[in-house]
Amino acid sequence: MELPLDPGWAAGLLLALCRTAGFAVSPVFARALPPAGRVLFALAASLALVRPVEGGLSLAGLAGSAAMNVAVGLVLAFATGLILHLFDVAGEVLDVSSGLASARILDPLTRLEAGVFTRLFRMTSLAILLAIGGDRLLVRVLVRSVEAVPLTGRMSVGPALGEGLVASVGTLLVAGLELAAPALGALFLAEVALGVAARFAPQANVFFLGLSAKLLLSLATLGVVLTLFPGAVRGALEAMLRTSGDLVRTLSGP
């Protein structure tokens, strides 16, 4: 039995696999899928995005196109992964402010140490993102990138690309602080109250009392923060889609 192999389709599959492999490192897929699942996702997505290479490519041209597709996939993975790092920022800030930063444990999803609130925010945001179909919208970004920057096309790298990524990171940090703002405001008032108490009652051990008070206050305000999560995830997803669309247009060139 002979299986005909078209060189154009084989080269197109290789280039599509390079782009989907770069995109599969996005934190959204890295946290939702095990390594084997990400490999299968890259293979399945490449079969859906494959386009035959017309006219053939030299070995150097094929290597250059493969590197370009990997770069496009990595840029999109970074842009789409910012949506989850937003909640990591909020969790880290709350861990430090509440005094739980020292209670860090290994997160099996990222293989990094994370605090209690960081892990809680991370898992909650990922669950909501998957529930509202955010993963399918991310795949749609990948499809649009192939339409804007063909597998054998050229990627435009200019100042606008760096400015867009830096602006996205700045927006991420601000949004993370805004999400944790209710708890941070309550903890700030607690710090002021403890400072006043230490001033008027220096004989009291305000430091140890403050640790318990801040922890209880953080748990009390946690419910308020969690009620903001659905709207925050939806807003972050919309912002990510706009940013990804702008990056795709930037990569496609003028």
Residues 24-79: tens digit of each pLDDT? 888 777 777 778 888 888 888 888 888 777 766 677 777 888 888 888 888 888 88
Q: Is the model more confident about 205 or about 89? A: 89
- Residue percentage of the chain with pLDDT more than 90: 0
Asked whether residue 88 carries a pLDDT value surpassing 50, the answer given is yes
Distance, CA of 201 to chain centre: 47
Classify burial at 196, counting beta carbons within 10 Å of its beta carbon; exposed 0-12, middle 13-18, buried 19 or more: exposed
Query: Span 127-149, mean pLDDT?
Result: 82
Q: Which residues pair with 106 in a beta bridge?
A: 113
Q: How confident is the model at residue 210 (pLDDT cuts 50, 70, 90)?
A: low
pLDDT of residue 3: 44
Phi, psi dihedral angles at 52 (to 5 degrees): -65, 145
Q: Which residues pair with 112 in a beta bridge?
A: 107
Going by C-alpha positions, the residue among 126, 90, 95, 97 that lies closest to residue 113 is 95
Q: Which residue bears the tokens 């997505």?
A: 45
Q: Of 35-39, 122-126, 200-204, which range is least confident? A: 200-204
pLDDT of residue 126: 82
Q: How confident is the model at residue 105 (pLDDT cuts 50, 70, 90)?
A: low
Query: Span 90-94, mean pLDDT?
Result: 81
Q: How confident is the model at residue 130 (pLDDT cuts 50, 70, 90)?
A: confident
Dihedral sign for Cα atoms in the order 86, 222, 110, 24? negative
Q: Of 53-67, 87-101, 119-133, 197-211, which range is least confident? A: 197-211
Residues 140-156: tens digit of each pLDDT? 888 888 888 887 777 76
Average pLDDT, the chain: 77
Query: Span 220-234, mean pLDDT?
Result: 81
pLDDT of residue 2: 47
What pTM value is reported for the model?
0.74
Copy the structure tokens of residue 146: 């192939």
pLDDT of residue 112: 65
Q: How confident is the model at residue 17 (pLDDT cuts 50, 70, 90)?
A: confident
